[in-house]
């Protein structure tokens, strides 16, 4: 059994309440930080831990914190990105729903390090019921003195608020999130300036993912060095993986970074193998935007080494033969799955979610969706494969925010690894959805 | 005052005069505004629009948006441009229960398309339409973060997961029997179906 630091208590009855959470060691990091450490010492521990942003980008959290501008007399903010919308990802929802105080504890400890008197948790609107759970936990925390004036009798005071969104994937991009938090359309800002200098209402702001903030608690409790001992190389600590698709046991798993991908898919501790005795065909390992890999490349790198669940191992080989850990949205597909159809659902998603600011993304995602539709209704030609490739290559790197890349990469990877499937449809003028009957059986049952 | 919402032609002054938050809704709105620093009340717009949608029949008419602008002391266009950007705000009337079936990857892999077809047939409507009795509107949605419990649909604040045809039947029957407006802001979100 791997070590768990974030959701080890998720099955404890009543763990969503302050009383039970506290009885299981909750809020220890706040006590330790506020009573025995300076804010800079807290930041140092986070730096030492090697913690990297768990939302998808994997940027070192301690370094991000150290960029925060601290001009005199200007308020600073911590904003939690709980706009979890990357297809295949549902770990933040799980954490907030089951152990909301883990996030609030992390918000307080992190805000102390950053010198933020106010923080906001921006939760995607569709998770309204989750926002209720977090709000109730915040009320409990205020009543017990963990939030508010002079926490634990120290000079540190802090207020934490929840804001719900209105339904837009793009608000997971940190500057779009800030726009949305200011009551505007979620159009990403041009950087620089970065939020660390000019973020919420123009003030210095740190935006961190839910899991990142929750991970600060065990880091402070155990010490950054101890945390860094878990994992391999620059992939330290534990990571929540959202597992879905054609596996026997979909759900959220906390893994120690560094376990083999094969173990994650086939062991009973995690996914429990592929459903209905089918063979694995492909995996999207880190949310919809990372390149899809066929079985042989997800289980082993091009060099023939076992592929591990780390930032480095998953990206080994670059995009030619590798992928990314991303948000940890792990979607497994069995041998009957149409890669073309799955790609269509991704591309439709990105077309729907493009904010419309940049033409390559606004128009390109729509063109790609239209062409993929031709494959599904049997009217595509071989040249459409080239056209798809051409369009995706002209989106990447030409947009304000990474939604452009996020839309282009899955298309590129599907063609790179499964070109024959596209060509077969184009040549036969027929799309056959083999897996349809498997799906039907599940929902009729 | 010439405060018509930009881009809409059917603004009704008489209807506008009738629109006012209940005392309960107003106190919720004031609570939301208090989360932000002085002068930054525009930040409350997204959550306040959710309250307004629940309060005024499940959608945001031009008159309602105009009223929200007045409450937040911002221009009507600032409300309209936000309401038209985000998917959760309905700018046209909808049924009492809006069924949003997720259709992205993991849900597709687990039968979302057949769930949509099943509901279409059962309610005799297509995606985007409202049933004749005004009870249900059917929509498709992009990833709702329920990939491990696919397929799923959202109705108001409730997530209905691991759907089967039988489960869909019971959801529709229960909602129809209750006959009430389901909003994202509902407190009875516990998924018991």
Contact B109 A184 (CB under 8 A): no
Contacts of B151 in chain A (CB under 8 A): 443
Q: What domains, with CATH codes, occur in chain B?
A: 13-83 (1.10.10), 97-178 (3.40.30.10)
Closest partner CB to A440 (pick from B87, B114, B141):
B114
Task: Report pLDDT for A1.
Answer: 74
What distance in Å separates residue A170's CA from the closest CA in chain B?
10
In this structure, what token pair is assigned to residue A164?
Answer: 């719900």
Q: Tell me what ipTM this predicted complex has.
A: 0.95
Contact A244 B47 (CB under 8 A): no
Task: Report pLDDT for A46.
Answer: 98
Task: Report pLDDT for A189.
Answer: 98
B192 — pLDDT class (breaks 50, 70, 90): very low
Please give the mean pLDDT across all residues of chain A: 97
Interface probe with B: pick from A74, A166, A176, A246, most Cβ of B within 10 Å: A166
Please give the mean pLDDT across all residues of chain B: 93
Q: Is the model's pLDDT at B6 over the cut of 80?
A: no
Contact A129 B159 (CB under 8 A): yes
Contact A185 B82 (CB under 8 A): yes
What distance in Å separates residue B92's CA from the closest CA in chain A?
16
Q: Return the residue of A nearest to B39 by Cα.
A: A201
What distance in Å separates residue B47's CA from the closest CA in chain A?
6
Q: Is the model's pLDDT at A45 over the cut of 50?
A: yes
Q: Is the model's pLDDT at B104 over the cut of 50?
A: yes
Contacts of B115 in chain A (CB under 8 A): 443
What distance in Å separates residue B184's CA from the closest CA in chain A?
6
Closest partner CB to B145 (pick from A84, A284, A333):
A84
Partner A, chain B 40-59, Cβ-Cβ below 8 Å: 40, 42-47, 49-50
B169 reaches A (C-beta below 8 A): no
Task: Report pLDDT for B7.
Answer: 52
Partner B, chain A 322-351, Cβ-Cβ below 8 Å: 329, 331, 333, 337, 341-342, 345-346, 348-349
pTM of this prediction exceeds 0.90? yes
Q: Is the model's pLDDT at A210 over the cut of 50?
A: yes
Q: Is the model's pLDDT at B2 over the cut of 60?
A: no
Q: Is the model's pLDDT at B56 over the cut of 50?
A: yes
Model pLDDT for residues B136-153, shown as the tens digit of each residue: 999 999 999 999 999 999
Closest partner CB to A168 (pick from B47, B78, B85):
B85
What distance in Å separates residue B114's CA from the closest CA in chain A?
7
Q: Is the model's pLDDT at B9 over the cut of 80?
A: no
Closest partner CB to A167 (pick from B43, B81, B87):
B87
Model pLDDT for residues A343-365, shown as the tens digit of each residue: 999 999 999 999 999 999 999 99
Closest partner CB to B46 (pick from A165, A201, A331):
A165
Model pLDDT for residues B162-177, shown as the tens digit of each residue: 999 999 999 999 999 9
B181 reaches A (C-beta below 8 A): no
% chain A with pLDDT above 70: 100
B193 — pLDDT class (breaks 50, 70, 90): very low
Model pLDDT for residues A77-132, shown as the tens digit of each residue: 999 999 999 999 999 999 999 999 999 999 999 999 999 999 999 999 999 999 99
Q: What domains, with CATH codes, occur in chain A?
A: 18-229 (3.40.50.11540), 232-334 (3.10.20.600), 339-428 (1.20.1440.230)
Phi and psi, residue B59, nearest 5° = -150, 165
- Please state, in angstroms and rounded to a whole number, the distance separating the CA atoms of residues B192 and B181: 18
- Please state, in angstroms and rounded to a whole number, the distance separating the CA atoms of residues A147 and A139: 9
Model pLDDT for residues A136-194, shown as the tens digit of each residue: 999 999 999 999 999 999 999 999 999 999 999 999 999 999 999 999 999 999 999 99
Task: Report pLDDT for B3.
Answer: 46
A329 — pLDDT class (breaks 50, 70, 90): very high
Model pLDDT for residues A227-277, shown as the tens digit of each residue: 999 999 999 999 999 999 999 999 999 999 999 999 999 999 999 999 999
Contact A337 B43 (CB under 8 A): no
Contact B165 A443 (CB under 8 A): yes
Task: Report pLDDT for B190.
Answer: 64
Task: Report pLDDT for B1.
Answer: 39
Model pLDDT for residues A377-434, shown as the tens digit of each residue: 999 999 999 999 999 999 999 999 999 999 999 999 999 999 999 999 999 999 998 8
Closest partner CB to A342 (pick from B85, B105, B113):
B105
Q: Are A360 and A403 in contact (CB under 8 A)?
A: no
B24 reaches A (C-beta below 8 A): no
Contacts of A202 in chain B (CB under 8 A): none
Contact A444 B81 (CB under 8 A): no
């Amino acid at each position: 059994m791997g070590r768990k630091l974030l959701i080890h208590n998720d099955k404890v009855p009543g763990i969503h309440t302050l009383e039970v959470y506290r009885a299981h060691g909750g809020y220890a990091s706040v006590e330790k930080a506020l009573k025995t450490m300076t804010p800079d010492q807290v930041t140092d521990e986070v730096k030492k831990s090697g913690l990297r942003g768990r939302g998808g980008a994997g940027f070192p959290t301690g370094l991000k914190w150290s960029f925060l501008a601290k001009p005199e007399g200007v308020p600073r903010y911590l904003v939690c990105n709980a706009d979890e919308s990357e297809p295949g990802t549902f770990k933040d929802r799980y954490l907030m729903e089951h152990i909301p105080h883990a996030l609030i504890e992390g918000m307080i400890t992190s805000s102390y390090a950053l010198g933020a008197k106010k923080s906001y948790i921006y939760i995607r609107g569709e998770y309204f019921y989750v926002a209720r759970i977090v709000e109730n936990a915040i009320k409990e925390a205020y009543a017990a003195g963990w939030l508010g004036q002079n926490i634990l009798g120290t000079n540190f005071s802090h207020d934490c608020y929840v804001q719900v969104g209105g339904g837009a994937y793009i608000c997971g991009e940190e500057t779009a999130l800030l726009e949305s938090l200011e009551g505007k359309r979620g159009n990403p800002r041009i950087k620089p300036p970065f939020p660390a200098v000019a973020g919420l209402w123009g003030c210095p702001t740190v935006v961190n993912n839910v899991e990142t903030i929750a991970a600060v608690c065990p880091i402070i409790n155990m010490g950054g060095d101890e945390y860094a001992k878990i994992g391999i190389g620059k992939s330290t600590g534990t990571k929540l993986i959202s597992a879905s698709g054609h596996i026997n046991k979909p759900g959220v798993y906390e893994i120690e970074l560094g376990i083999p991908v094969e173990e994650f898919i086939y062991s009973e501790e995690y996914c429990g193998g592929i459903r209905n005795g089918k063979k694995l065909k492909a995996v999207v390992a880190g949310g919809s935007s990372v390149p899809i890999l066929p079985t042989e490349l997800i289980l082993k790198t091009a060099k023939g080494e076992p592929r591990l669940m780390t930032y480095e191992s998953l990206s080994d080989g670059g995009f030619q033969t590798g992928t990314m850990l991303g948000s940890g949205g792990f979607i497994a597909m069995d041998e009957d799955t149409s890669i073309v159809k799955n790609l269509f659902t991704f591309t439709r998603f990105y077309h729907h979610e493009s904010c419309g600011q940049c033409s390559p993304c606004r128009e390109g995602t729509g063109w790609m969706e239209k062409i993929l539709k031709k494959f599904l209704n049997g009217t595509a030609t071989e040249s459409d494969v080239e056209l798809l490739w051409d369009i995706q290559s002209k989106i990447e790197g030409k947009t304000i925010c990474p939604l452009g890349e996020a839309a282009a990469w899955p298309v590129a990877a599907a063609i790179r690894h499964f070109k024959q499937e596209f060509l077969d449809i184009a040549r036969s003028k027929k799309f056959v959805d083999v897996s349809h009957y498997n799906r039907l059986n599940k929902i009729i049952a | 005052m010439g405060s018509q919402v930009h881009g809409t032609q059917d603004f009704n002054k008489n209807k506008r005069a009738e629109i006012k938050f209940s005392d309960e809704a107003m106190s919720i709105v004031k609570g939301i505004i208090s989360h932000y620093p002085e002068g930054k009340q525009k930040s409350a717009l997204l959550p306040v629009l959710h309250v307004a949608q629940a309060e005024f029949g499940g959608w945001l008419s031009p008159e309602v948006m105009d009223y929200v602008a007045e409450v937040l002391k911002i221009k009507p266009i600032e409300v309209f441009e936000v309401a038209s950007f985000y998917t959760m705000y309905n700018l046209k009337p909808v049924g009492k229960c809006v069924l949003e079936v997720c259709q992205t990857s993991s849900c597709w892999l687990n039968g979302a398309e057949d769930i949509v077809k099943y509901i279409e047939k059962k309610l005799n409507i297509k995606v985007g339409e409202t049933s004749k009795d005004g009870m249900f509107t059917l929509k498709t949605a992009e990833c709702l973060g329920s990939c491990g419990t696919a397929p799923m649909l959202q109705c108001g604040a409730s997530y209905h997961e691991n759907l089967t045809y039988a489960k869909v039947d019971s959801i529709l029957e229960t909602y129809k029997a209750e006959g009430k407006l389901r909003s994202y802001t509902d407190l009875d979100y516990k998924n018991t179906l």
